[in-house]
Structure 1
Amino acid sequence: MAQSLDDIVKVNVIVSPMAQSAGTFDIGLIVGKSTVISASDRVKIYSSLADMKAGGWTGTEPEYAAAMLYFSQNPTPSKLVVGRWDASADPAETPEKAVEACRAANNDWYGCYVADATATEIQAVAAAVEAMSPESVYFYDTDDADVASGTAGNIMETLKGLGYSRTFGLFSSTAYAGAAVMGYAMGANTGGANSAYTLAYKALPGVAPDPLTTTQVNYILGVNGNVYTTYGVNYKLLVQGTMASGVHFDEVLNLDMLKAEIQIGAVNALVAAKKIPQTEDGLSLLISAIEEQCEKSVTRGAIAPGVWKAAPILSLQPGDVLSKGYLVLAGRIADQTQDEREARKAPPIYVPVKMAGAIEHVVINVTVNR
């Protein structure tokens, strides 16, 4: 009988745990009252309108109309989550509770839209999304005459006053136009090289530009709303791409992605290692894992080299150049207290980043000499 080679050379195959991803930021949720999806199922995932038709949608439902605008954008989003708002329940479910239930049922979606929400319901959903985890953003549309006329207390003015940074409002007479904006936002977020984008000056197929006056446009933009209207002779443009707080949508998205990637990168490093020693070398392993994730934002074009103009952070001073667009800094292991060492905590880690920003307004001076 042949003897085992293990007596001479023994080979052990050790498979390391699979690294987890930071999640998806390119899928939207549309919530409505139609009964195609049961309250117990709560959500269904679709890849196209044909997929929805195969799933029982007739094409007459509000969710389907919103999905048609969502999938009509260029680039086209690859997936859509549709959720059930159980308005027929006793007691009837509120839209914000429906969105929260959809989040509990599915973590894949990032943007959300609620079909046929009233101004009061929009405010309630906005409040819920603001506090939601994982982080999400809410798109809505309104053709409320109080917004167009600048009447005090209208929904856009109210949301601006509340300072919500996760709510994007569009004034539009096209039904479900907010779903079109969400469709572009999710479709454009490919995550590839130089894929960072803004929502300013984009076309929205399927949405009719509103014939607004300059006064109306200026008011809506002043309360951090957005419009889709005609500029010049031929341009139909989405302006300005801001959330209710005034921050730009792309900044919210890019920081959400960066946060999620840094978090999952650090966790993956802890999971993959047999042990990360509580030493400067061990700390370097964590820093390297974080730097690897920051490079993804550099590749996308979300962060870029620039001069640090904020408060000092450890060795980083105002006026210093972030040559890579980011820096990962940490306190010293030697400065830790005994309690911190016994709790096996890392020193505080800081990640100052410089956003790439975007140019959206230009002044050109033409000097003519005869």
Structure 2
Amino acid sequence: MAQSLDDIVKVNVTVSPLSQSAGTFNIGLIVGGSNIIPVADRVRIYNGTADMLENGWTGEEPEFEAATLYFSQNPSPPKVAIGKWDNSAESEESVDEAVAACRAANNEWYGCYVVDATAADIEAVAAVVEPMIPSTAYFYSTADPNVKAGAPGNIMETLKGKAYKRSFGQYSTTPHAAAAALGYAMGANTGLANSAYTMAYKTLVGVTPESLSTTEVKTILGLNGNVYTNYGASYKLLVQGTMADGTHFDEVLNLDMLKAEIQIGATNALVNSAKIPQTEDGLSLLISAIEEQCEKSANRGAIAPGVWKAAPVMSLQTGDTLSKGYLVLPGRIADQSQDERDDRKAPPIYVPVKMAGAIEHVVIGVTVNR
């Protein structure tokens, strides 16, 4: 019999552990009190409304109606999460507690919508979403005429006053209109090259444009709200794509993705390495891992080359050009204290990035010569 080659050359194969991802940021959560999902399950993921029907939904529930709008957008999101609000008399669970419970039960979803929410519900959910981890965005719609009238105390004024960065409010008389906006936001976030987008000037399939005066539209936009309405002879457009504090939704989303990707990338580097030496060469491994994640954001078109106009960051000076849209600037190993070395800490690492921004308003001057 032949002898084993192991006596001559022994080969050991070691397979490195799988790296984790930062998630897709393209699944929305719809929360309601229908008795289809048990409280013990809290959240279920569906590939479409047909999948929901197979799971016991009848098509008459408000969550199903919202999901229909959600999946009707172009591009359509890949999945939806449906969350259970235990609003039975025996429970007395508040809606914000339900959203928090859905987050605790499942981390796959990013944006969320609550069906048939009152102004008090909206304010409560906005408050619990603002500091939520993982980061979340709350989409809500209201048909309260006080909003378009700009009456004191309306929900959009309230959330603007609280400078909430994670609440996207839409004035609409179409039920569940914000579920349509959520569906577009999740469907458009493909992660592919040049896939970065804004919410401004988008079509919301299944939503009726609001017939509003110019004053009413300006009032809603002045409250940092959003509205789907008619422009010109044929345009039906969502304006303006902002959160309650005036930040554009795409900026919130892109920075959430960048943060998560950098965090996961650096963690994967630590987990997948037998050891990262506390040397400049070791530090370069972390820098490479962070740069790889920044490249994803640049590839999507979220960050881009530009001039740094903020305060200096280490060697980066005001007026310098970020040729790739980002830099990774670490402190020096040689400057670490002995306590920092004993604690095995890396020097501080700074990542200045230049957002690509977006053009949403244009002034054109036409000069005519006769």
Place the TM-score, normalised by the shorter chain, in its bin. over 0.9
1:29-48 CA-partner distances (Å, limit 9, x unpaired): 00001001111111111111
1:132-158 CA-partner distances (Å, limit 9, x unpaired): 100010000001011111100100000
Report the equivalent of 1:173.
Answer: 173
Secondary structure of residue in 1 paired with 2:63 = helix
Secondary structure of residue in 1 paired with 2:286 = helix
Report the equivalent of 1:20.
Answer: 20
1:351 to 2:365 alignment: no
Distance 1:39 1:278 in 2: 48
Question: Shift of residue 3 of structure 1?
Answer: 2.3
Distance 2:108 2:272 in 1: 24
Aligned pair in 2 of structure 1 residues 56, 338: CA closer, same or farther (>3 Å)?
A: same
1:53-104 CA-partner distances (Å, limit 9, x unpaired): 1111111100001001000000000100001100005241111110111111
1:153 to 2:159 alignment: no
Report the equivalent of 2:137.
Answer: 137
Distance 1:33 1:17 in 2: 41
Instruction: Please provide the CA RMSD for this pair.
Output: 0.7
1:304-326 CA-partner distances (Å, limit 9, x unpaired): 00000001111000000000000
Question: Shift of residue 256 of structure 1?
Answer: 0.3
Report the equivalent of 1:264.
Answer: 264
Structure 2 counterpart of 1:45, which letter?
A: I
Distance 2:249 2:195 in 1: 15
Report the equivalent of 1:252.
Answer: 252
1:291 to 2:291 alignment: yes
Report the equivalent of 1:3.
Answer: 3
Report the equivalent of 1:196.
Answer: 196
Secondary structure of residue in 1 paired with 2:191 = coil
Structure 1 counterpart of 2:248, which letter?
A: H
Report the equivalent of 2:307.
Answer: 307
Distance 1:272 1:88 in 2: 47
Aligned pair in 2 of structure 1 residues 291, 216: CA closer, same or farther (>3 Å)?
A: same
Secondary structure of residue in 2 paired with 1:251 = helix
Distance 1:59 1:119 in 2: 26
1:38 to 2:38 alignment: yes
Report the equivalent of 1:329.
Answer: 329
Secondary structure of residue in 2 paired with 1:102 = helix
Secondary structure of residue in 2 paired with 1:56 = coil
Report the equivalent of 2:237.
Answer: 237
Secondary structure of residue in 1 paired with 2:227 = strand
More moved, 253-262 vs 1-10: 1-10
Distance 1:243 1:28 in 2: 17
Report the equivalent of 1:360.
Answer: 360
Report the equivalent of 1:72.
Answer: 72
1:215 to 2:212 alignment: no
Secondary structure of residue in 1 paired with 2:236 = strand
1:319-369 CA-partner distances (Å, limit 9, x unpaired): 000000000001100100110000000000000000000000000000111
Question: Shift of residue 189 of structure 1?
Answer: 0.2
Question: Shift of residue 246 of structure 1?
Answer: 0.2
Question: Shift of residue 282 of structure 1?
Answer: 0.6
In the TM superposition, 1:265-284 aligns within 5 A as 265-284=265-284
Distance 1:45 1:17 in 2: 27
Structure 1 counterpart of 2:274, which letter?
A: K
TM-score of the superposed pair, with normalisation by structure 1: 0.99
Distance 1:329 1:172 in 2: 46
Distance 1:261 1:37 in 2: 32
Distance 1:12 1:211 in 2: 71
Secondary structure of residue in 2 paired with 1:44 = strand
Aligned pair in 2 of structure 1 residues 271, 59: CA closer, same or farther (>3 Å)?
A: same
Secondary structure of residue in 2 paired with 1:112 = strand
TM-score of the superposed pair, with normalisation by structure 2: 0.99
1:204-230 CA-partner distances (Å, limit 9, x unpaired): 010000001111100110010001000
Structure 2 counterpart of 1:106, which letter?
A: N
Question: Shift of residue 183 of structure 1?
Answer: 0.1
What residue ranges of structure 2 are gaps of 5+ in the alignment? Answer: none
What residue ranges of structure 1 are gaps of 5+ in the alignment? Answer: none
Report the equivalent of 2:206.
Answer: 206
Question: Shift of residue 2 of structure 1?
Answer: 3.1
Distance 1:264 1:289 in 2: 9
Secondary structure of residue in 1 paired with 2:360 = coil
Structure 2 counterpart of 1:166, which letter?
A: R
Distance 2:250 2:157 in 1: 21
Distance 1:86 1:305 in 2: 48
Structure 2 counterpart of 1:195, which letter?
A: S
Question: How many aligned positions are there?
Answer: 370
Distance 2:369 2:276 in 1: 69
Report the equivalent of 2:100.
Answer: 100
Aligned pair in 2 of structure 1 residues 89, 286: CA closer, same or farther (>3 Å)?
A: farther
Report the equivalent of 1:51.
Answer: 51
Secondary structure of residue in 2 paired with 1:288 = helix
